[in-house]
Structure 1
C-alpha cells in the first residue's frame, strides 16, 4: 500500500508544481493557465504551418494574395503584434472552406473561401484581428496546457483507482471524461473565442479599419450557417451572442478607430475581383 502511495504522490507533486508555475494574465486581464515555453509554441506553429503548405496548394491569383497581405500587414505593423513576433508570414490557400488562422511564430493562413463571407477589407480585418488575437492572448499555449493538465489528472486518478481496486473504475473514468470536457475544456474554448473577438476588434480599429464591420461579418456568418449546436456544448459563442458582445465593445473600438484615422492610419487594400 505504501508503494502505491509513493508512486502516486511523486507525480502529484510534480503536477502541482507545474500548475502553480503556470499562472498568467491575458491581455484582457483574465487569469490563464499557460505552462509551455514560448520557444516550443513557436516551433509547433512553424511546423504546423509548413505541414499545411505541404498539404494544401496556395492560390495562383496574385491579386488575391496581395489583397489579403495588405490587410494583414496593417494589423501586423501594430506595436503589440510586432512584440509577439517581428516577422510574420501570410499565405492564402486554395481552399473553399470558410476559414483563417494565426499560429505562434508569426504565421497567418487564409482560405480563399473566407472572402465569400468577409466581403470587404474591413470585414477581412475583423477576421485577421480575431485570429492574431488568439496568438497575442496565448490561447494555443493555454489549450495545450489544459490538455496536458487534464491528461495528467486523469492518469493520476486512474492510478489511484487501480491501487484501491475500485469496481467502478471504467464508469468513473467515463464520467470524468465528460466532466473534463464540459467543465474545463469547452468553456475555455468559448472564453477564448469571445476574448479574441474583443482583442481583434481593438486591433482592427487601431490599424485603421472600421470596427463596425466586425458586426456585419458575423451577420454574414449567421446567414451562411443558420444551424448551430447549442452554445453550452459548443466551443464557439452563438452568432447572436457574438454580435451582442461586439456591439457592447463598439464605443471603445470606434474611439480607437477615430484615433487611428487622425494619425493617418488609412489602409487602402483593393478587393480583388477574383474573390468569388
Structure 2
C-alpha cells in the first residue's frame, strides 16, 4: 500500500512539473479573431504552398537551391527539428503541418516561414552575420512564430477593418465639413496605412518573444537574440525610423527581449539541465571583416 501511495505521489509531482513547464516562458495568448476576417485558413495554406513551390521552381532554374548534402542546409534542418516539436504550444494546427526547410543561394540578409511551416533561409543571413546555432534558432523561431500566430491572415483582417472604418470616417468628415470627398478618401488612406504599420510592428514584437520561447524550449540560448540584433544594427546603419517602419528599431527589439528574458532563461536552463542562476555568459561570433 505504501508503495502505491509513493508511486501516486511521484506521478502527481511529475504531472505538476509538466504543467509548470507548459505554463512557464512567454505567456500564450489566444489567436486573434481578426484572422477570420482576413480569409479562410485552408485557402491561405493552399496559396502559401503555391507561392512557395513557385519560388523553389524559379530558384531551381537558376541553380540557387541548396542540395540535401549542403552543410548549411543540414545545419538548418537540424535546428528546425529541435524547434518544431514545441510549435503546437502556440498553434495546435502546427502538429499537422508539412514542415519544409530550404536554403537559397543569395546575398540577401533574410529568412521567412510561410503559413503551413514552409521555411526558407538565404545564404546572406548566415554568412554576412556569421550566425551561431543559437542565433540561427532565434531567426528561425521568429519566422516560425509569424506562421504560428497566423499574422498574415490577421494582418489581412486588420487591414480590411481599418480600411472600411477609415472610409466611413472619411465620408462622415467630408459631409460634416463640406470638403471634397476625395480629400476625405486621402485622409482615410493615410489613417489606414498608419494603423497597418502599427499592427505590423506589434506582430514583429510578438514574433520576437514567441521565437525566444521556442528557441529556449529547444535548448538554444535566448540571449542570442540580443547578439543577433546588435549584428543587424551593425550592418544596417541606415535603418528607417521606428515610427515609420513596419519593423521595430533594433534598440526597441533588444529592450523588449531584455524585459522578457527572465521568463525564458529558466526554460533554456531546464532544457540544458543547468542551474538558471549559474548560466555562463552567452558568446557570439564577431561579424566577418569587410
Smaller-chain TM-score bracket: 0.7 to 0.9
- With the length of structure 2 as denominator, give the TM-score of the two structures: 0.74
Q: In structure 2, how many angstroms separate the alpha carbons of the residues matched to 1:115 and 1:236?
A: 20
Q: In structure 1, how many angstroms separate the alpha carbons of the residues matched to 2:130 and 2:153?
A: 28
- SS of 1:249's partner is helix
- SS of 2:101's partner is strand
User: CA separation of 1:214/1:161 partners in 2, compared to 1, >3 Å: closer, same or farther?
Assistant: closer
User: CA separation of 1:54/1:157 partners in 2, compared to 1, >3 Å: closer, same or farther?
Assistant: farther
- SS of 2:222's partner is coil
Is 1:83 the counterpart of 2:92? The answer is: yes
1:31-180 equivalence runs, <5 A: 33-35=34-36, 36-56=39-59, 57-60=64-67, 62-78=70-86, 79-80=88-89, 83-85=92-94, 86=96, 87-116=98-127, 117=129, 119-153=131-165, 168-180=180-192
- With the length of structure 1 as denominator, give the TM-score of the two structures: 0.77
Q: Structure 1 residues 226-235 or 59-68, which shifts more?
A: 59-68
Q: Deviations over 1:90-134 (max 9, x none)?
A: 111111101111111121111111102251100000000001111
How big is the alpha-carbon RMSD for the aligned residues of Structure 1 and Structure 2?
2.8
Q: Conserved in 2, the CA contact under 8 Å of 1:118 and 1:124?
A: no
The offset of 1:180, in angstroms, is 0.7
2:255 aligned to which of 244, 258, 263: 244
Return 5+ residue gaps in structure 1 as ranges: 1-25, 264-275
1:249-268 equivalence runs, <5 A: 249-262=260-273
The offset of 1:170, in angstroms, is 1.5
The offset of 1:169, in angstroms, is 1.6
Return 5+ residue gaps in structure 2 as ranges: 1-26, 275-289
Q: Conserved in 2, the CA contact under 8 Å of 1:102 and 1:132?
A: yes
The offset of 1:249, in angstroms, is 1.1
User: CA separation of 1:161/1:255 partners in 2, compared to 1, >3 Å: closer, same or farther?
Assistant: closer
Q: Structure 1 residues 85-94 or 57-66, which shifts more?
A: 57-66
Q: In structure 2, how many angstroms separate the alpha carbons of the residues matched to 1:55 and 1:175?
A: 40
The answer for the alignment partner of 2:3 in structure 1 is none
Is 1:233 the counterpart of 2:244? The answer is: yes
Aligned length: 237
Q: Structure 1 residues 38-47 or 241-250, which shifts more?
A: 38-47
Q: In structure 2, how many angstroms separate the alpha carbons of the residues matched to 1:90 and 1:139?
A: 20
Is 1:220 the counterpart of 2:231? The answer is: yes
The offset of 1:50, in angstroms, is 1.2
